[in-house]
Structure 1
Amino acid sequence: MQRRLLTLQKLINDFPCVVPQDSNLTEYAGFLCVRQRQFRISVSSDCSIFHADKQLIHILGSDIDIVTERLKAAADPHDFLIELRDLIERAISKEDADRPLLKEADLPPAFYYEHLLSEIEALGWGRVESIDRTMRSLDLNITDSAQRKHTIQILLPVDYPREPPTCVASLPQEFTPKLGEHHILNDVLNQYGQFIERFQDFFRVMEDFDSNTCILEPEHPTWRDTYRRVCIGKHCSVRIEVDPRAPISGFPECRFLGSENAVAPFKQHLNQNIHKWDITGGTLPRENLQGVLELQFPSRESLMKDTEDVLLDECGICYSYRLDDRVPDIACDLKECSKPYHRACLVDWLRALPDTRESFGTISGNCVYCEHPIVVSMKPI
């Protein structure tokens, strides 16, 4: 505890916007301020878990691998944040250096800005989440009936409003507004608000999974993502695909991932108990699945108490947990081994061996650690 108190004192001095999240000082969260820009981050006291907002992940780009290495080597959160701040400084400097200078020919005519500003004034600047320096891309926000905040990106052509804008929305289905000649931004936002109301049940279902289970993938879910990979045990998970058209009454597609020994009982429960599924729409899919699979989905907090750290089992080949945003999805079937691998890592490893066999989209060989036979589908999930 004394060491954690010393770390807290250093953080207060150098990172006053990063504060402890509990009395035991096991996690810190807040804002990292670099060059008058703020990035939301969180890090555990043992430097085993780190989360960053989308803006920071975008700025770091390929340097995110370096961040992972620095996290593993850091003595405490303070030392890690010092190195992270340096990395962000260099990334921002490179971003500024690579940014091309604007030419007058690239800018829209004066009428474009006059019309756009008049539309924004009518809409209200409070609706503008962000706007780029050329004012050709802006994010507008809206709140749905359940008080969820949504944004939509509007990409404007140079000859706007004569040519319609392009709309990019983070939703499970494509949004294409019908536009008139006047008050285009207001029309877009109104139609977007009506469109997102179709997905209230879908939002509720996905929020229920996110709040009550341990989500392995996607790492940063958006409303565009219709699936969740949920941890159900050590080296064992289920990928749940939800139909946004019938998120509650429809039966989600379930694919179990892990060694056959680990997933076989769940497959058996699914086949035997499928009749228990409540098709009336009165039960959320998570609750339905718990009844059918005869389990209680563990939360991230409960799993983190496991000294074996079931959440962060690294790949037995590349020794990383995440590879191109994917986590290990293959495990050795031998119960005593159960070593996890990224599918891509294992396929590449087996292909390099002379006695490996390939046929009908699968590759067969032996576990890297225990030599137990292992068969891998080369088709990604």
Structure 2
Amino acid sequence: MEDLLVTENPLLLPLNKEKTAYDGFLCVQDRDFRIRVLLPSDLQLKRARLHCCWQLRHLLREYELIVRQRLQQSAQLSTFLLELKTIVEVCMKSRAGSFAIPPPQYYSQLISEMETLGWDKIIFLDTNIQTLKLKAEDSSGRQHTLSIKLKSKQIKYSQYWLTEEDHVTGSTQNQENIRVSQHPAEAPECSADLPVPLNLTWTPQSSLELLHSQFLLLLESLAEFWDVLDEIDQKTWILEPEKPSRSDTVRRVAIGSNVSIRVEVDPRHPKMLPECCLLGAEHGTLTPVSSPTFRMFWKLNSRHQPPTKNLVSALSVASVTHIGLGPPSQIKCAMTPAVASPSTRPASMSGSECYPPAGRASA
């Protein structure tokens, strides 16, 4: 049995003449895991103690009961180590490409940052604590989400020995590639549904609370832009996009039968003259609206008139009213305040709301 132990585990060596303590490495699929086995004086495995590196402990965390059972039932150390190798192989196959656990200091700092930020602002947190989603609300009550992905990189890392008290002592003899979190040394990847680039500043002294504060300031700078688009959405018949997101800057608005206008609002200057193009059979594909009269009306009314009314005035239209919320007999034409019949209401060109072509709406 002793020869079999040496043959199958050449890197596991006895520490004393009595052979009650073994220290070394367990080799499984070209990987070496640091282990130590302590046996009682009678060499009975029932009272043996097994210590291992944190990588092996991480792999076996769901198989601890099985390992304990095999340790209790095995007659020889060589038999137990052979079964242990089989269990480790199964774990490695089922956890191929798994994420390495960061050190405890990483979690301590991150949890401290989340507590300072407030748990009520965290709406998502993955199991590896690498991806977070924070909620934010602007001054108008609109809800927004900031997605944060903490950076990590692959490095050469020594396997570490963990004693019973989880005391760590370095061993540089056995190294492997693992991914280590770089928070807060490197800036995380941030994303949000915004019409402008998300540029947040970060230093090694920054925190999640600082990111959230910068995000709130950016939301407030865009509040007027969203106010303009919300008003357009509420008071006009939007053909495209069917489900606008907060990053969309364009609306296609129905203004007559088979006629619509494409309006693109500048997020940084929402009250300035938007880019407008008429769409319809008589206008081909796109007809820019850029006459001096149009620009003059917009400039004169932009300070004291809501965007929808200003657009109506610039186009010399009486009013823009919500279309499609009532029966056909009460649907108002987008170009006139007169009640429109089903034959004069605008035709949707979005694909999901199609009406048959009809004559032009009366001006």
| TM-score, L = length of structure 2 | 0.52
Q: Identify the residue that residue 316 of structure 2 maps to in structure 1.
A: 294
Deviation at 1:139, TM superposition (A): 1.3
Check if 1:276 corresponds to 2:297.
yes
Given candidates 151, 167, 181, the residue that maps to 2:204 is 181
1:106 to 78, 83, 99: 99
Residues 314 and 144 (structure 1), Cα distance of their counterparts in 2 relative to 1, 3 Å cut: closer
Q: What do residues 173-197 of structure 1 show as CA deviations (whole Å, max 9, x unaligned)?
A: 1121111324521110011111222
Task: Output one character per residue of 1:99-122: Cα deviation in whole Å (capped at 9) or x when no partner.
Answer: xx8656424514443332222122
Q: Where in structure 2 are the equivalents of 1:356-371 lying within 5 Å?
A: none
1:127/1:142 contact within 8 Å kept: yes
SS in 1 for 2:140: coil
**Contact 1:270–1:292 under 8 Å retained in 2:** no
Which one has more relative contact order, counting CA pairs under 8 Å at least 6 apart?
Answer: 2
Q: Would you say the 8 A contact 2:146–2:192 is kept in 1? A: yes
Report the counterpart of residue 255 of structure 2 in structure 1: 232
Structural mapping, 1:129-168, within 5 Å: 129-158=123-152, 159=181, 160-168=183-191
Amino acid at match of 1:252: P
SS in 2 for 1:189: helix
For 1:194, which of 205, 217, 229 is the aligned residue?
A: 217
Match in the other structure for 2:233: 210
Displacement of 1:314 in angstroms is 6.8
Secondary structure in 1 matching 2:128? coil
For 1:169, the equivalent position in structure 2 comes to 192
Q: Distance in 2 between matches of 1:282 and 1:258?
A: 31
Q: What is the rounded CA distance, in whole Å, between the counterparts of 1:208 and 1:314 in structure 2?
A: 21
User: What is the deviation of 1:153?
Assistant: 0.9
8 A Cα contact 1:270 1:293, kept in partner: no
Contact persistence 1:129–1:141 (CA under 8 A): yes
- Aligned equivalents of 1:102, 1:293: Cα separation in 2: 64
- Provide the C-alpha distance between the structure 2 equivalents of 1:146 and 1:203, rounded to a whole number of angstroms: 9
- Judged with a 3 Å threshold, the aligned counterparts in structure 2 of structure 1 residues 271 and 117 are, in CA distance, closer, same or farther, namely same
Letter in 2 for 1:231: A
2:151 is paired with a residue whose SS is coil
1:122 matched to 2:116: yes
Larger Rg: 2
Structure-1-length-normalised TM-score: 0.50
Structure 1 stretches lacking a partner, 5+ long: 1-100, 338-381
Distance in 2 separating the partners of 1:298 and 1:253: 21
Unaligned runs of 5+ in 2: 1-93, 153-180, 332-341
Alignment counterpart, residue 281 of structure 2, candidates 254, 259, 271: 259
User: Equivalent residue of 2:251, what SS?
Assistant: strand
2:245 to 222, 235, 239: 222
SS state at 2:320 partner = coil
Q: CA RMSD in A?
A: 3.7
Could you tell me whether the CA contact under 8 Å between 2:265 and 2:274 is conserved in 1? yes
Question: What is the rounded CA distance, in whole Å, between the counterparts of 2:151 and 2:345 in structure 1?
Answer: 49
Answer yes or no: is the 8 Å Cα contact 1:269–1:294 preserved in 2: no
Secondary structure at 1:231 match in 2: strand
The 8 Å contact of residues 231 and 297 in structure 1, kept in 2 or not, is answered as: no
Maintained 8 Å contact 2:251/2:264: yes
Equivalent pairs, count: 224
Contact 2:276 2:288 in 1 (8 A): no
**C-alpha contact (below 8 Å) 1:304/1:310 kept by paired residues:** no
